[in-house]
Amino acid sequence: MDHAADAHRTDLMTITRFVLNEQSKHPESRGDFTILLNHIVLGCKFVCSAVNKAGLAKLIGLAGETNVQGEEQKKLDVLSNEVFVKALVSSGRTCILVSEEDEEATFVDPSKRGRYCVVFDPLDGSSNIDCGVSIGTIFGIYMMKDNHEPTLDDVLQPGKQMLAAGYCMYGSSCTLVLSTGEGVNGFTLDPSLGEFILTHPGIKIPKKGKIYSVNEGNAKNWDGPTAKYVEKCKFPKDGSSSKSLRYIGSMVADVHRTLLYGGIFLYPADKKSPSGKLRVLYEVFPMSFLMEQAGGQAFTGKQRALDLVPTKIHERSPIFLGSFDDVEDIKALYAAEGKKE
């Protein structure tokens, strides 16, 4: 037995240790936020295990119900949603939960109520389960504005008011990327320990990237600026190399690659979906929050994504996010379009 190696293994920066270290920087903290994050991490571990043995556990296949968005639900969606709702309620630190799978927001029973509101997509990209493509959980955390009876207004806040956001990607490895407003850190699940270990400290997105990521099948319905931007990626007029196209169709996987390698992820509005397709609260906001924390940008075609004020919990928005310079280019095209009108 290699005792030296085992001793070294205990000196790992686990996500629990990392969050406790962060908490110690705030002497006024009561530890509520740390407890909430621990419950989210537990939910991610549970879903990761379910996703890994999905075929065996007969979890794959349609549960025969359709969710709010009109997508047929996979059994794993249903399970993941239940896991996160239970994990968040049992933390005793939440007051309102908004899930992609539930039409209405969940108001936590007063006996288990805390001061945080959590918005989440329990299993994003679940239509990809059958072909083994990475899927993930996305979440964002708000705090109640003050001590009052919780209302929907407590979650219908602009993304810039979020305290923390993150996603957990279930792929070749299980990776959790988190920001509490002081940079972005990535953790990877070590299955032998059952712990998330800090593997990507201080993630910074490159200022400019070589990849663009968009569903080109929608090209005939795009607006002018999006069409011009994609054309420019493929046929640059300034003599530079053209960008590579990478599109997985699972937001967590596409954003994860964009965050690590740079480039731009686009899900524009089009004639078919004039408000865009991605949901503001639990897809656009958390991913935009992470991008900005990593030194990138996120833009809706009209404004900074995190300045958007949602009016409905399942509201949708177009989104362009990624490397700072790449998003600047698309902003310039929208500004030029605006001047023409």
Q: What is the DSSP string of 150-180?
A: --GGGTS--GGG-SEEEEEEESSSEEEEEES
Choice among 36-40, 51-55, 164-168, 262-266 with the minimum mean pLDDT: 51-55
Q: How far is CA 336 from CA 17, 89, 292, 331, 333, in A?
A: 48, 48, 24, 9, 5
Q: State the pLDDT at residue 24.
A: 87
For tokens 């023409």, name the residue.
340
pLDDT at 50: 86
The DSSP annotation for 252-297 comes to: HHHHHHHHHH--EEEE--BSS-TT-SEEIIIIIHHHHHHHHHTT-E
Q: Where are the beta strands (DSSP E) in the chain?
A: 62-66, 72-74, 94-99, 106-107, 113-124, 135-143, 164-170, 174-179, 185-190, 195-200, 211-213, 244-245, 264-267, 278-279, 297-299, 316-317, 319-322
Q: Which domains does the chain have, with CATH numbers?
A: 15-200 (3.30.540.10), 211-338 (3.40.190.80)
pLDDT band at 72; cut points 50, 70, 90: low
Q: What is the pLDDT of residue 129?
A: 81
Q: How far is CA 231 from the centre of its chain?
A: 28
3 state DSSP class of 228 = helix
At 138, is the pLDDT very low, low, confident or very high (cuts 50, 70, 90)?
very high
Q: What is the mean pLDDT of residues 237-253?
A: 95
- pTM recorded for the entire structure: 0.92
Mean pLDDT for 127-148 is 89
Question: What's the number of CA atoms in the CB half-sphere (13 Å) around residue 67?
Answer: 24
User: Residue 185: how many CA atoms within 13 Å on its side-chain side?
Assistant: 17
- Alpha-carbon span 215 to 234, nearest angstrom: 14
Mean per-residue pLDDT, 292-307: 98
Taking 60 as the threshold, does the pLDDT of residue 5 lie above it?
Answer: no
CA distances from residue 80 to 21, 51, 59, 169, 258 in whole angstroms, order as listed: 29, 9, 11, 13, 25
pLDDT at residue 335 in the model? 96
Report percent pLDDT > 70 for the chain: 91
Q: Distance between CA atoms of 139 and 252, rounded to whole angstroms?
A: 11
Burial of 136 from C-beta contacts in 10 A (0-12 / 13-18 / 19+): buried
pLDDT at 174: 97
Across 108-112, average pLDDT: 96
* The pLDDT value given to residue 70: 64
What pLDDT, on the 0 to 100 scale, is given for residue 59? 54
Residue 204 has pLDDT above 60, yes or no: yes
Q: Which residues does 239 contact at the CB level (< 8 Å), separation at least 6?
A: none
Could you count the other beta carbons within 10 Å of the beta carbon of residue 292? 22
pLDDT for 51: 86
Query: Percent of the chain at pLDDT above 90?
Result: 78
State the sign of the Cα–Cα–Cα–Cα dihedral 324, 327, 332, 334: negative
Beta-sheet strand order (sheet of 185-190):
106-107, 94-99, 113-124, 135-143, 164-170, 174-179, 185-190, 195-200
Region 207-212: mean pLDDT is 98
Span 224-251, mean pLDDT? 95
CA angle 293, 258, 201 (to 5 degrees): 50
Judged by average pLDDT, the poorest of 125-129, 276-280, 312-316 is 125-129
Q: Which residue has the higher pLDDT, 321 or 76?
A: 321
Least confident of 103-117, 134-148, 257-271: 134-148
* Average pLDDT for 177-182: 96
Q: What are the angstrom distances between the C-alpha of 86 and each of 40, 112, 149? A: 10, 11, 21
pLDDT of residue 339: 75
